[in-house]
Chain A
């Protein structure tokens, strides 16, 4: 049986890289166009690049807010990448007028201190004990805003850019990555494969 992944088209940028990454990991990517598909899909990927507000507005325009929120709350196989992970939060300093999915209570803030922003490049990921998908390694990041602590009820991996920030989160079959697994070399491919194989047969 092929590993189907349904991708939420949150915007043009980087979609092709996510699709290519999924294919290399042995999955068959398709694109979803409505909430019903989001609810029924075995696996959903929320790629998300660009601004928090723009990505959330796109999701609202497609009517997918509730379906996505429910999937994540239920811990069904969902991979949220970069801004996709940020959308799980309530709000972001980047787009104060927009509300995220609100699965995680909290506000994203811009990197502070004497560091280059956006963070563009490879940084070390250090997971908590007992994570299923994330391991020690180097990941590629492209972000200006970040979550600063692991929310209650999740396990997480941290990284550092002018202070500690959340590199990734897991809960049930939900994997949220601030980094781009599809651009993180062999290590990133292993993360994708771990999530895909762990969610095989899940529903």
Chain B
């Protein structure tokens, strides 16, 4: 049985790890290579690098950061932020990414997902979706690092993205991100029910119990950031608590 993954996420801006409260007001938290190696030794199952400044500032991707991080990693590396074309994705993969996450550009031009899946395979193509609650039982897609509300229904978009070839969904709750209130488990459950591909829950995790609830809601992997960057806990501790709760993780 495939184990639930614990995935530390490093938000990168100008080659440095930062963390955001709802993607704004970023604080510097250090060197990405050191972070990635540190979390790998703690038992991380995969690392996600997100270039949070890429879309708003129109910058190209942190190719050099990816290359450096790859050289120390023996686990998978997913990279996102500002990917607009298959050429952008190709540069990241050539630098050492194993999966590429697309967000804003795929919303603007969904065919990008198919182009990526056909060239690199679905297992390489991650659709990153930022979701904001809209009414009691729905969520809408937000893009541009959370600055633009599209009005598009999140569950419908995730379904379409997987039909177009996305092999995984990185699902971030815009409402919960940085709040430490826990994942939006209703959101996770709604998307996990609608699609057959793995769903990575993201946004709001502060305790091991938050991770358990996301898994119970149907997540195949859980993204963690601030709780690790702040030194509140370690990946190994989270995994022990997941195991104690009956969730299978890689030891």
Contacts and interface: CB of A to CB of B under 8 A. Distances in A.
Contact of A12 (B2, B94, B123): B94
A11 B4 CA distance: 29
Interface string B92-124: 011111110000000000000000001111111
Given A120-B198, A121-B3, A13 B93 contact: yes
B168 interface: yes
Interface string B1-24: 111110000000000000000000
B94 A15 contact: yes
B98 A122 contact: no
A86 to B, nearest CB: 12
Given A16-B94, A117-B197, A121-B2, A49 B74 contact: no
Contacts of A141: 2
Given A16-B93, A185-B74, 17 more contacts: A12-B93, A13-B98, A13-B120, A16-B95, A21-B74, A24-B74, A49-B124, A50-B120, A50-B124, A116-B197, A119-B2, A121-B5, A121-B221, A122-B250, A144-B122, A160-B1, A184-B75
Interface of A: 11-17, 20-21, 23-24, 49-51, 115-124, 138, 140-144, 160-161, 180, 182-186, 188-189
Interface of B: 1-5, 40, 45, 67, 70-71, 73-77, 90, 93-99, 118-124, 167-168, 196-198, 220-221, 250-251
User: 9 nearest interchain CB pairs?
Assistant: A50-B121, A142-B123, A16-B96, A122-B250, A13-B120, A121-B2, A118-B123, A138-B250, A116-B198
